[in-house]
């Protein structure tokens, strides 16, 4: 690398750091917006790199919730992870279709990477064509990660159908893009409180 290229790279890095320091809000918002252009073909093959129709952002958030709490707004089609007083990460989600929405408070009881899926008997009764069991993987409807809510049948999980984010499509679970659910999975702990609002 010649000295002219090295000097140009140093100047770009310095300018970038100065802009980020001068405007922290912009830097934070940009940090949480992932672009499909940066995803490599391997990521796309496994359900990553598809931009959500509702980008992940850092937002102002009020309420009596402690950092680490997950708050789900079913009507708003958003999941909020409280990060500090007055602040949360906002993720777009798919929610339960009419007749399958619910509200309540649970805790994260378990987390799994590339989880297996065994449809519950209620779902099999409605959809006898479904498989009785599916091993984890890209074809699995639970996607890259699953976060289990107490002893309920419900989960926050990934999806290989980013176009369904922001829609009422599920049987009561909350779906996210695989990118977003991996991000949430790494941030939320087992035992965290999850508040589901209508």
Q: 117-137, pLDDT tens digit by residue? A: 888 888 888 888 888 888 999
Instruction: Name 167's Cβ contacts closer than 8 Å, sequence gap at least 6.
Output: 77, 94, 95
Residue 119 in tokens: 């449809």
Q: Which residue has the tokens 């830097």?
A: 27
Neighbour tally for 116: CB within 10 Å: 13
- Contact at 8 Å (CB) between 159 and 89? no
Selected residue with higher pLDDT from 66 and 8 = 66
Q: 25-84, pLDDT tens digit by residue? A: 322 333 343 434 344 443 544 555 556 789 999 999 999 999 999 999 999 999 999 999
Instruction: Name 6's Cβ contacts closer than 8 Å, sequence gap at least 6.
Output: none
- Quick one: pLDDT at residue 29? 37
| CA pair distance 97, 178, nearest whole angstrom | 20
Does position 195 have pLDDT exceeding 60, yes or no?
yes
Active site residue 157: yes
Euclidean distance between the first and the last CA atom of the chain, given in angstroms as a whole number:
57
**Phi and psi, residue 79, nearest 5°:** -115, 130
- Quick one: pLDDT at residue 59? 98
- Quick one: pLDDT at residue 49? 53
- Quick one: pLDDT at residue 130? 86
Looking only at the bridges linking them, the beta strands covering 70-73 and 87-92 are: unpaired
Q: Which helix (H) or strand (E) holds 44?
A: helix 41-45
| CA pair distance 78, 174, nearest whole angstrom | 10
Instruction: Name 23's Cβ contacts closer than 8 Å, sequence gap at least 6.
Output: none
């Amino acid at each position: 690398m010649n000295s002219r290229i090295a000097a140009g790279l140093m100047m770009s890095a310095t300018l970038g750091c100065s802009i980020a320091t001068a405007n922290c809000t912009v830097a934070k918002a940009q940090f949480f917006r992932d672009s499909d252009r940066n995803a490599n073909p391997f990521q796309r093959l496994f359900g990553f790199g598809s931009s959500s129709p509702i980008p992940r952002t850092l937002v102002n958030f009020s309420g009596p919730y402690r950092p680490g709490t997950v708050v789900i707004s079913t009507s708003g089609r958003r999941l909020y992870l409280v990060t500090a007083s007055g602040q949360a990460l906002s993720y777009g989600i798919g929610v339960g279709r009419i007749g399958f929405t619910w509200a309540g408070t649970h805790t994260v009881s378990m987390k799994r990477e590339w989880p297996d899926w065994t449809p519950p008997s209620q779902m099999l009764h409605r959809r006898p064509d479904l498989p009785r069991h599916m091993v984890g993987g890209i074809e699995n409807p639970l996607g890259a990660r699953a976060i289990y809510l107490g002893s309920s049948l419900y989960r926050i999980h990934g999806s290989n159908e980013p176009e369904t984010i922001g829609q009422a499509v599920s049987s009561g679970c909350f779906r996210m893009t695989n990118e977003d659910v991996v991000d949430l999975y790494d941030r939320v702990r087992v035992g965290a409180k999850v508040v589901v609002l209508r």
